[in-house]
């Protein structure tokens, strides 16, 4: 198995942890003041880091030759994080539009958590199958 596959598995675990932290930071921001200001600063910074880390995951998946499915799942994750950024940019707080986007922003975050978990599970499954074929 490629050393990049091991790096990708660890990378996806890191992304999963950061996505869970992202939810906690969003809760902190809402509890802090509910407005888009200092309370959400760490949520914004972590979101930016997630975008770059997910983009790097696509490159690592390609280097690991992990298969088309895993590469596409990491690319989908990058797209969903970009979508999160887009929703944050066009959001108008205090309006029905803004509240609706906030709902989809949260659901998209849950989808990202599931996607990171599923990608990691597929990597572990492929690793097990690879070691069984070798032995």
Domain ranges in the chain?
3-134
93: left (phi over 0), alpha (psi -120 to 50) or beta: beta
Name the residue among 12, 11, 49, 45 with its Cα closest to residue 26: 45
Sequence-distant (6+) residues with CB within 8 A of 109 are: 19, 22, 23, 26, 84
- Stretch 88-95: mean pLDDT, rounded? 82
In this prediction, residue 98 carries a pLDDT of: 82
What pLDDT, on a 0 to 100 scale, did the predictor assign at position 104? 92
Nearest to 33 by CA among 20, 43, 46: 43
Q: How confident is the model at residue 3 (pLDDT cuts 50, 70, 90)?
A: confident
CB atoms within 10 A of CB 70: 24
When mean pLDDT is compared across 32-46, 55-69, 87-101, the lowest value belongs to 32-46
């Amino acid at each position: 198995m490629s050393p990049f596959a091991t790096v990708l598995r660890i990378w996806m675990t890191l992304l999963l942890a950061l996505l869970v932290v992202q939810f906690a930071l969003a809760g902190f921001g809402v509890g802090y003041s509910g407005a888009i200001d200092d309370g959400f600063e760490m949520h914004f910074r972590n979101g930016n880091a997630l975008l770059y880390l997910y983009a790097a995951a696509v490159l690592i998946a390609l280097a690991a030759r992990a298969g088309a499915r895993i590469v596409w799942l990491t690319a989908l994750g990058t797209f969903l994080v970009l979508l999160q950024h887009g929703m944050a940019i066009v959001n108008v707080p205090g309006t029905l539009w803004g509240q609706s986007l906030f709902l989809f922003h949260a659901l998209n975050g849950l989808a990202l958590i599931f996607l990171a978990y599923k990608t990691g599970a597929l990597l572990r499954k492929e690793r097990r199958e690879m070691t069984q074929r070798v032995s």
